[in-house]
């Protein structure tokens, strides 16, 4: 069963409201093993709404239409669906009574405009859950397809989806399945480089999916997502007969991908880079401190957000001003966007805060070049009693992206140092 989601409301197109409803519905459909290949937003215009819904019906088995069920003049979802069904709207007296009772229970009198919310396309049925004045509708179209209309108010919509619509969709599909995903987080290679590295694997995956689909053992697909400070994500998605089968597929594909990606993988699902760092530091019994210039406290903030960070994180110094770098961290007078300055900052904060390891970032986030270094030039360093490692990066993007890339790059450099050395100690 292929289910399409259509979100209705001009406010969505104008950016006045963010469409979180469609995302949530997509998650619930996937968890129920129901395919969904398209999501669309359309404004409150009858002609465009009809066009979008007819297109959705032409390529999908079912459509969940979200929004436009209120009592105002621009709430025209019922009218458009009735037009598509080729039927009239009819006043449902039971709905009128129910809506009136809702107003009475709140000590209010129902406005005549609310009667429009009791208009139902002939042949449609009403979703049993109705936490608000807008009733959800199940509208059969052409004998083999269906439109579900739900209100845009999130808590009302969610109650109808989980209470009636998902089970109705599963019953109509005639089969049960689960869709599950797992995300490998990586850093150290571009998105295009990652895709090239996995090109042969993806090609083989397409072939194996055909066999697995025939044997009903569970298919799998890969998708890539560049997420700034969260890293480059490789998402594995599988559709299988049940939970156990889905987990088995994910376990197999993860192992295969790790064999190819190696140390590029730093975490799974919610395990971001700072979680990996805190875990490694705790495992080795080491502490860290950070001196930040270009990142302006971003690294310290990320690390402090991890539960248990207090055991391994000594603190940080935001040395944005050059005089602060010199007076507090021992950086020599002269250029500060250099590997030498980054190393001095790393040793300075390590010694000042009594940590085993010092980290440092210094660079040019823009809007103009500095010290003859172009925007995006960043120097990072990791220093311990075993010595220091520093490197210069040329990062793309605006000020925020440069700060994000600097953060994850420095934490990744620390991760590599920790993985290579069994212990870094005084």
Which domains can be identified in the chain, with CATH numbers?
A: 3-173 (3.40.980.10), 178-268 (3.30.70.2860), 273-420 (3.90.950.20)
Are the beta carbons of 336 and 325 closer than 8 angstroms? yes
Residue 341's nearest CA partner among 356, 315, 357, 319 is 319
CA distance 387 to 424: 10
Give Cβ neighbours of residue 114 (< 8 Å, ≥ 6 apart).
71, 99, 103, 133
The DSSP-derived string for 49-67 is HHHHHHHHHHH-SEEEEES
Angle at 170 between CA 168 and CA 176, to 5 degrees: 160
What is the reported pLDDT for 426? 39
Closest CA relative to residue 145, chosen from 78, 82, 85, 66:
85
Tell me how far apart the alpha carbons of residues 405 and 397 are, in angstroms, rounded to a whole number: 9
* Distance spanning both ends of the chain, measured CA to CA: 62
| Closest C-alpha among 276, 274, 321 to residue 300 | 274
Alpha helices in 292-398 (DSSP H): 298-304, 322-329, 339-353
pLDDT of residue 143: 85
Do residues 338 and 383 lie in contact, with contact meaning Cβ atoms separated by under 8 Å?
Answer: no
10-residue averages of pLDDT along the chain (426 residues): 96 95 93 92 97 98 97 95 97 95 91 93 96 96 95 95 93 84 93 92 79 60 87 90 91 96 95 96 96 97 96 97 95 96 98 97 93 96 96 94 95 94 48
């Amino acid at each position: 069963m292929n289910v399409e989601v259509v979100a209705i409301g001009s406010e969505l197109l104008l950016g006045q409201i963010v469409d979180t409803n469609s995302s949530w519905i997509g998650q619930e459909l996937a968890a129920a093993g129901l395919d969904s290949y398209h999501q669309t937003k359309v404004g409150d215009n009858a002609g465009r709404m009809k066009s979008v819904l007819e297109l959705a019906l032409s390529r999908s088995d079912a459509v969940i239409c979200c929004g436009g069920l209120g009592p105002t003049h621009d709430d025209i979802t019922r009218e458009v669906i009735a037009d598509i069904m080729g039927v009239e709207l009819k006043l449902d007296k039971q709905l009128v009574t129910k809506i009136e009772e809702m107003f009475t229970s709140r000590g209010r009198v129902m406005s005549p405009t609310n009667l429009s919310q009791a208009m139902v396309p002939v042949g449609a049925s009403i979703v049993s859950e109705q936490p608000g004045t807008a009733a959800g509708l199940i509208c059969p179209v052409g004998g083999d397809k269906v439109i579900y209309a739900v209100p845009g108010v999130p808590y009302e919509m969610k109650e109808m989806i989980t209470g009636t619509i998902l089970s109705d969709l599963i019953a109509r599909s005639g089969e049960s399945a689960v869709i599950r995903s797992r995300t490998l987080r990586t850093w150290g290679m571009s998105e295009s480089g990652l895709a090239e590295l996995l090109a042969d694997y993806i090609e083989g995956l397409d072939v194996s999916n055909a066999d697995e689909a025939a044997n009903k053992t569970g298919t799998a697909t890969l998708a890539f997502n560049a997420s700034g400070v969260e890293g480059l994500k490789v998402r594995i998605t599988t559709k299988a007969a049940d939970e156990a089968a889905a987990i088995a597929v994910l376990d197999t594909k993860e192992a295969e991908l790790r064999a190819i990606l190696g140390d590029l993988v730093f975490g799974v699902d919610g395990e971001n880079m700072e979680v990996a760092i805190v875990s490694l530091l705790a495992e080795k019994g080491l502490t860290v401190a950070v001196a930040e210039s270009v990142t302006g406290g971003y690294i310290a903030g990320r690390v402090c957000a991890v539960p248990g960070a207090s055991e391994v994180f000594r603190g940080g110094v935001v040395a944005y001003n050059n005089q602060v770098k010199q007076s507090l961290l021992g950086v020599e007078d002269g250029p500060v966007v250099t590997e030498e300055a980054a190393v001095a900052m790393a040793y300075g904060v390590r010694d000042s805060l009594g940590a085993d390891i010092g980290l440092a970032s210094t660079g040019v986030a823009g809007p103009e070049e500095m010290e003859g270094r172009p925007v995006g030039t960043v120097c990072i360093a990791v220093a311990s009693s075993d010595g220091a490692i520093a490197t210069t990066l040329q990062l793309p993007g605006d000020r925020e992206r440069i700060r994000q890339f600097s953060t994850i790059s420095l934490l990744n450099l620390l991760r590599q140092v920790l993985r290579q050395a069994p212990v870094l100690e005084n």
